Amino acid sequence: MKVVHTVREMQQIALQNKQTNQTIGYVPTMGFLHDGHQRLLQSAKKENDIVVLSIFVNPLQFGPNEDFDRYPRDEEHDREIAEQEGVDIVFMPSVREMYPSSLSVQLNVNNRTNVLCGRSREGHFDGVVTVLTKLFHIVMPDKAYFGLKDAQQVAVVEGLVKDLNFPVKIMPIPTVREQDGLAKSSRNVYLSKEEREQAKYLYHALQHGQQLVKKGEKTKDIIINEVIQFINSKTRGKIDYVELLTFPNLEQVDQINERVILATAVQFERARLIDNIIFEKNGEITITSS
């Protein structure tokens, strides 16, 4: 396994791989790797000749009151996981390496952002697509792997790739969960013991909403109210949102007649957790977004 810290070296390696017709599978992360990241790496390993993992905590996607400075980092642990999963190249640039000067160009996302987490995180997805544009040019992947836990990000990135004609295929991977259903997340370490016990009910609440659809309920407001009541009865977390939207376009809908995402975000004392379920109009679970 090779660890690369500069853009120049990473691009040279990527070009060499392209010249020998080796396919590149790419997993972009902000580090502090967990089982969800490992699932992405395992999928990339199965489907490509070379696996590139990037670890970069991107300041552009953090708002002024968000947790950039305290975002969990553990470089030694991340290297061990990468080695364990057979990663070929770990790209670990510094902020100065990625942003050596003020940006003269930055991307703005027009659609799929004024809902879910994007509503309360102004500029977040602009930072996401800006750094991914840089990373796609640096790593030159054939396939890029993203977890559906952050389904809004998957939808936005698919829009980026489609609209700007990137020669990369986005590979959405199902959410990896703890045994009790809690979605794996780097932020779970901030939960107290009591909050950790309550957090499992976010997924259970979404499942409750999905089961209502399977039983024939089609009205958005009824489903959302049921999910809200479920979360409030089982947790002390403060609900940021419960939304039901078309997927992947993330458009409002009153009656379910196509593929949708049912999603929630709940703020606990020191951690804001997100989760979602994507399913068809009959309530059957959709594994991927495409």
Domain boundary among 173, 205, 225: 173
Domains held by the chain: number:
2
User: Taking a C-beta distance cutoff of 8 angstroms, is the pair 126, 103 a contact?
Assistant: no
Q: Is 39 in the same domain as 114? A: yes
Burial class (CB in 10 A: 0-12, 13-18, 19+), 29: buried
Q: What is the pLDDT of residue 24?
A: 98
Residue 230 counted as domain residue = yes
CA distance 75 to 206: 34
Residue 284 counted as domain residue = no
Domain boundary among 110, 141, 173: 173
Residue 110 counted as domain residue = yes
CA 171 to chain CA centroid, nearest Å: 12
Q: What is the pLDDT of residue 290?
A: 38
Mark the binding-site residues for ATP, compressed into ranges. Answer: 30-37, 147-150, 176, 184-187
- Please report which helix (H) or strand (E) contains residue 267, including its range: strand 260-267
Q: What is the pLDDT of residue 289?
A: 41
Tokens of 101: 């000067």
10 Å Cβ neighbour count for 145?
26
Location of structure tokens 């840089």: 134
10 Å Cβ neighbour count for 169?
15
Per-residue pLDDT of the chain (290 residues; tens, 9 = 90+): 999 999 999 999 999 999 999 999 999 999 989 888 999 999 999 999 999 999 999 999 987 767 777 777 889 999 999 999 999 999 999 999 999 999 999 899 999 998 998 887 888 899 999 999 999 999 999 999 999 999 999 999 999 999 999 999 999 999 989 999 999 887 898 999 999 999 999 999 999 999 999 999 999 999 999 999 999 999 999 999 999 999 999 999 999 999 999 999 999 999 999 999 999 999 999 764 43
Q: What is the pLDDT of residue 287?
A: 62
Q: What is the pLDDT of residue 118?
A: 87
Domain boundary among 141, 173, 205: 173
Q: Is 44 in the same domain as 128? A: yes
Active site residues: 37
User: Taking a C-beta distance cutoff of 8 angstroms, is the pair 24, 54 a contact?
Assistant: no
Mark the binding-site residues for beta-alanine, compressed into ranges. Answer: 61
Contacts of 252 (CB under 8 A, 6+ apart): 115, 245, 246
Q: Is 83 in the same domain as 106? A: yes
Q: What is the pLDDT of residue 69?
A: 77
Q: What is the pLDDT of residue 120?
A: 78
Residue 286 counted as domain residue = no
CA distance 105 to 90: 27
Nearest Cα to 199, choosing from 147, 275, 263, 261? 275
CATH number of the domain that 113 lies in? 3.40.50.620
